[in-house]
Chains A and B, each alone.
Chain A
Amino acid sequence: MEQDINIKITDRDGVTHEVLAPTDMAMNLMEVVRSYELAPEGTIGICGGMAMCASCQCYVLSDTELPEMQDDEEAMLSEAFYVKDNSRLGCQIQMTPEMEGLEVELAPES
């Protein structure tokens, strides 16, 4: 599908998966991780994607341009653990064609 983009997701066991993410299904990065079952159910996307739990925290490894962080994401990350400078909440990153080549690593479960 021409709307699909290639992204790399490193799971919590350190295994990197190259996956195709659709950009026409209003999917965010957390949902892509769930759809490929790259993290056990119940350990990611607990709040459903409202930036209220940080279970989908990931580290952005590529220099892909991403949507700017909104207040709620910033606030949630300020209460999360294992936070680094490149931390983002997967649920707040909607997949777009411009994100071709995105590389992320899932933060540890907390």
Chain B
Amino acid sequence: MIKTDILIIGAGPTGLFTVFEAGLLKLKCHLIDALPQAGGQCSEIYPKKPIYDIPAYPEILAGDLTHKLLEQCKQFEPGFTLGERAETIDKQKDGTFIVTTSKGTKHHAPVVAIAGGLGSFEPRKPLIDNLVEYEDKGVEYIIKEPEFYRNKKVVIAGGGDSALDWSIFLSDVASEVTLIHRRNEFRGHLDSVEKVQELKNDGKINLITPAEVIGVEGNGKIEAITVKQDAKTFTKQCDHFIPLFGLSPKLGPIADWGLEIEKNAIKVNNALDYQTNIPGIYAIGDVNTYPGKLKLILCGFHEATLMCQSAYQIINPSKKYVLKYTTVSGVDGFDGTRKEAPKAVVKKIE
């Protein structure tokens, strides 16, 4: 059982900044995210896109913002459960919570902060009739363990970075890699496109474009796919079919936690502390809603800060506290580091 003070669901910008604000109050955080890396949408959807409305940054790439937030909160040693989706929440008799993930990892905390953005990212599945029948029987939407594909015949479908990157990577692992895309053009980093071209020329990647996978067949396990290219249709043998058409966020199991939901978001008390209808559970950032709500990263930062002050009172009901300024008090990391403003020089002028 992982124990922490504030359990944060969602490791996007709002969740990461919560770690910092909680750290100033000597509260420890642990984050759960369905994605295998921190950063949320910023790292998953648009890491190379600039953001222009982060205060004091005239321009910052979404990926760089993630790195800076991780750097800023590092001294407070956050724990991470990545690649697992928060599934259930159980309120204990003492008012604390146990949150269990899709892989059964249990987390125990007196306060839960949902910073889940638009929800957890789920793979977008192509519209092939019996595809679902073969899920985990040769059809996978996410590559978790590349070794799984050693000496197998793999078909990847898609035209973005993940389809390109995995085709390149698996060309060294699988016995045969086929990449199928609806167009001849690919939407990805130039390096990746050029590498796939090179591997195709060397006969290491079998490229079928413009074409589409329209069917899967097998016997308890996938054995072949049906490909439509121009007017002709043909069958291709394979051991694995991996459609990589990106991810789309879904509120998912959080919707069943007994929280008040409005417009696909969690209702919170914005006059006070962003607490939900369940005391001890907060919702901050894009996942919440209240009159006048704006889904902006900078609003998430503000909400995280106020929420931490309220969480402090739940965790330390009888302790007095007054807001401190980092410039005055410095920052004491849980890792033993200390940051502080240099003392002013006082010297006499003769």
Q: Which residues on A are within 8 Å of B, measured CB to CB?
A: 40-43, 46-47, 50, 52-53, 55, 71-72, 74-76, 78-79, 81-82, 110
- Whether A78 touches B183, Cβ cut-off 8 Å, given contacts A41-B265, A43-B264, A110-B124, is yes
- Whether A76 touches B263, Cβ cut-off 8 Å, given contacts A47-B45, A47-B46, A50-B49, is no
- Whether A79 touches B264, Cβ cut-off 8 Å, given contacts A50-B49, A52-B45, A53-B248, is no
Task: Indicate if B119 sits at the interface (CB-CB under 8 A).
Answer: yes
Q: Is the CB of B187 within 8 A of A42?
A: no
Q: Offer 9 A-B interface pairs, CB within 8 angstroms, sorted by A.
A: A40-B264, A42-B264, A42-B265, A50-B45, A53-B246, A74-B183, A78-B181, A78-B182, A78-B187
Which of A55, A79, A82 counts the most B-chain CB atoms under 10 A from its CB? A79
Specify which chain A residues have a CB less than 8 angstroms from the CB of B186 in the assembled complex: 75
Task: Indicate if B185 sits at the interface (CB-CB under 8 A).
Answer: yes
Q: Is the CB of B159 within 8 A of A79?
A: yes
Task: Indicate if B251 sits at the interface (CB-CB under 8 A).
Answer: yes
Shortest beta-carbon distance from B179 to chain A in Å: 13
Specify which chain B residues have a CB less than 8 angstroms from the CB of A72 in the assembled complex: 187
Q: Is the CB of B45 within 8 A of A79?
A: no
Specify which chain A residues have a CB less than 8 angstroms from the CB of B263 in the assembled complex: 40-42
Q: Is the CB of A110 within 8 A of B187?
A: no
Task: Indicate if B80 sits at the interface (CB-CB under 8 A).
Answer: no
Partner of A75, one of B46, B127, B159, B245: B159
List 5 tightest A-B contacts by C-beta distance, closest first: A42-B264, A75-B187, A41-B263, A78-B183, A78-B182
Q: Is the CB of B159 within 8 A of A78?
A: yes
B160 to chain A: closest residue by CB: A79
Partner of B118, one of A42, A52, A75: A42
- Kindly state the separation between the CA atoms of A57 and B99 in the bound complex, as whole angstroms: 36
Task: Indicate if B126 sits at the interface (CB-CB under 8 A).
Answer: yes
Specify which chain A residues have a CB less than 8 angstroms from the CB of B119 in the assembled complex: 42
Which of A75, A76, A78 counts the most B-chain CB atoms under 10 A from its CB? A78
Q: Is the CB of B245 within 8 A of A79?
A: yes
- Kindly state the separation between the CA atoms of A71 and B182 in the bound complex, as whole angstroms: 14
The interface size of chain B toward A, counting residues with CB under 8 Å, comes to: 27
Task: Indicate if B146 sits at the interface (CB-CB under 8 A).
Answer: no
Task: Indicate if B158 sits at the interface (CB-CB under 8 A).
Answer: yes
Task: Indicate if B249 sits at the interface (CB-CB under 8 A).
Answer: yes
A108 to chain B: closest residue by CB: B127
Q: Is the CB of B158 within 8 A of A42?
A: no
- Whether A75 touches B264, Cβ cut-off 8 Å, given contacts A42-B249, A53-B45, A110-B124, is no
- Kindly state the separation between the CA atoms of A40 and B45 in the bound complex, as whole angstroms: 21
- Kindly state the separation between the CA atoms of A52 and B246 in the bound complex, as whole angstroms: 9
- Kindly state the separation between the CA atoms of A14 and B161 in the bound complex, as whole angstroms: 35
Bits for B145-183, please: 1 = Cβ < 8 Å to A, else 0.
000000000000011100000000000000000000111
Shortest beta-carbon distance from B341 to chain A in Å: 37
Q: Is the CB of A75 within 8 A of B248?
A: no
- Whether A79 touches B246, Cβ cut-off 8 Å, given contacts A47-B45, A50-B49, is yes
List B residues 158-216 near A (Cβ within 8 Å): 158-160, 181-183, 185-187
Shortest beta-carbon distance from A14 to chain B in Å: 20
Which of B124, B181, B289 counts the most A-chain CB atoms under 10 A from its CB? B124
Given contacts A52-B46, A81-B124, 7 further A-B contacts (CB under 8 A): A42-B119, A42-B251, A52-B45, A53-B248, A75-B183, A81-B127, A81-B245
- Kindly state the separation between the CA atoms of A55 and B121 in the bound complex, as whole angstroms: 14
- Kindly state the separation between the CA atoms of A71 and B185 in the bound complex, as whole angstroms: 9
A37 to chain B: closest residue by CB: B263
- Kindly state the separation between the CA atoms of A52 and B245 in the bound complex, as whole angstroms: 11
Shortest beta-carbon distance from A110 to chain B in Å: 6
List B residues 273-293 near A (Cβ within 8 Å): 289
